[in-house]
Amino acid sequence: MKICLVALNYCPEPTGIAPYTTTLARELQQSGHAVRVVTSYPHYPQWKVYEGYRGLASQEFDEGVSVKRLRTIVPRKPRLITRMLMELLFGCRVSLASELRDSDVVVVVSPALASLLACAIRGRLFARSTPMIAWVQDFYGLGLREVGLSRSSRLQKAVAAVESRTLRRMTAVVAIHDSFKTHLTSELDVDDARVTVIKNWTHVRGPSSALDVSRYRSARGWRDDDLVVLHAGNMGKKQDLLNVVNAAASAQNKQLDKLKFVFVGDGSERSHVEAAAGELSNIEFHDPVPTSEFPTLLASADVLLLNEASGLKGMAVPSKLTSYFFAGRPIVAATSADTPAAEEIARSSAGIRVDPANPDELVRIINELAASSDLRSALGDAGKDYFRSELSQDSAITRFRTVIHSVAGSGSYRSESIVLGSPS
């Protein structure tokens, strides 16, 4: 089967959506399909096109997957409007891609609303009935609300209407969380039977031995009695990492000398966060690590930190959570009670939620964990159990194959038809 996968993000981007897109493409290719990816030049999380990528378009192969890259504008300081402009240009270029013309199935990753719309319009203009699957990782309408626009604003209404109309044209819709399915069906009027939930899996592979962890901590300069609180991943507006800087300052003022706050990653706000940290001695910053090193990094931490901006409601499930569960370390999540992240923490029993933008409470909870190795172990074990039961890659890929085979065979889709163990 010829499968076209359209996505803004693909390897070598190490975090965010790219690892999921990449894994799906490679797994489908390895199972005998001819997979072609249409994507942009790699730019995340630095929001700068990676070195070595030039020209308006390029062609490469990734483990047998044909990858066409199309240049689009990349805003150095991403804001919602500039991101939409970036995705609009990408969508216009996607609409001309020959890969859409002769595929048996097209899978479009959203965000990239313009790409979804371009694929839908192209199919309508050329009277083609190629089945299309939307893989929803985020919502634009909710994003506009979170930057202060009300439901009644003209822009919010217009974007929500386009989002709804476009998604309703898809043959099938894959949502990454139950709350996403609720939003799709109740607010965007997508037929419930055409929506299935396939949660993001962890792309981290390989356990780390106690010896690996000991050596890694030593190489990083972390003492055995340090309580390392690690935030791994993007450093952007959504993460509001100034809250963590304020927590580190509070811990230092309270002479909680064993607490060490570590940031590993990059993003549009990194320089601002580093400047705010100033001369704090209990906080450090590191560039993203290679994929092969990531499991040992996570295992070497004592506490894994998720921090979200206040008011972030239902917009996205942080991709770092799946890796955190896999690592078997306790999670502290500074996030509002009604977010998908909070729901995952409660469902997994793998961590403790605190209100966002409350650095003193964040320090209090971390200090409680520092005082109880039994509690840390219990939370970490719960995370590993949750990963094994809910977030395995094999299960997710099998479900994806089933959706793809269903729409390719019939041109339609009903989510209750999914049966695990369908053909690859």
The pLDDT value recorded for residue 123 is 61
The pLDDT value recorded for residue 314 is 56
Report how far residue 6's alpha carbon sits from residue 365's, in angstroms, rounded to the nearest whole number: 42
Q: Provide the residue-wise pLDDT of the chain in tens; the chain has 424 residues.
A: 999 999 999 999 988 899 999 999 999 999 999 999 999 999 998 999 999 999 999 999 999 999 999 999 999 888 877 888 898 899 989 988 888 888 999 999 987 777 777 777 766 554 457 899 999 998 877 766 665 555 567 877 888 888 899 999 999 999 999 989 999 999 999 999 999 999 999 877 776 788 799 999 999 999 999 999 999 999 998 899 999 999 999 999 999 999 999 999 999 999 999 999 999 999 999 999 998 899 999 999 999 999 999 976 555 678 899 999 999 999 999 999 989 899 999 999 999 999 999 999 999 999 999 999 999 999 999 999 999 888 989 989 999 999 999 999 877 787 754 443 333 3
Level-2 CATH architecture, domain 2-201+392-417: 3-Layer(aba) Sandwich (3.40)
Is there a shared CATH topology between the 2-201+392-417 domain and the 210-390 domain? yes
Lookup: tokens for 97: 């891609």
Which of 205, 200, 233 minimizes the C-alpha distance to 344?
Answer: 200
Lookup: tokens for 2: 């010829």
CB 198 within 8 A of CB 174: yes
Report how far residue 265's alpha carbon sits from residue 118's, in angstroms, rounded to the nearest whole number: 33
Residue that is written with structure tokens 């995952």 in the block: 344
Level-2 CATH architecture, domain 210-390: 3-Layer(aba) Sandwich (3.40)
Domain boundary assignment for the chain = 2-201+392-417, 210-390
Helix, strand, coil % over all residues of the chain, rounded to 5: 45, 15, 40
* Torsion of Cα atoms, 300 then 307 then 7 then 384, to 10°: 40
The pLDDT value recorded for residue 423 is 38
